[in-house]
Amino acid sequence: MSGRGETSAPEAVHGVVGDATTSVDDMIMDDGEKPPLNPQDICNTIEILIRQQKCQRAREDFLRLFANIHEALQRLR
């Protein structure tokens, strides 16, 4: 959330709110439902993943999803 009780555009598109209730499975989408990547969405996702790793000790999931983000960024170049 944006912190003011409203949902930002990336959250609305992805259906992900970066709080303690967000699970890694909530962020995994099939290829057909993935919207185009933009830098702000990538930053928001990384912030959520970092918070999750700290809260849930989900290191393996964090690293797997971070690797997926890195791979997607490489394809954009």
What average pLDDT does this structure show over 69-77? 82
pLDDT confidence band for 23 (50 / 70 / 90): low
pLDDT confidence band for 26 (50 / 70 / 90): low
Per-residue pLDDT, 10: 45
At 24, give phi and psi (nearest 5°).
-60, -40
35/28 Cα distance (integer angstroms): 12
Q: What is the 3-state secondary structure (H, E, C) of 10-49?
A: HHHHHCCCCCCCCCHHHHCCCHHHCCCCCHHHHHHHHHHH
8/31 Cα distance (integer angstroms): 22
pLDDT higher than 60, residue 5: no
pTM greater than 0.85: no
Q: Take residue 6 and report the two structure tokens written for it.
A: 């409203």
Q: Take residue 72 and report the two structure tokens written for it.
A: 């997607």
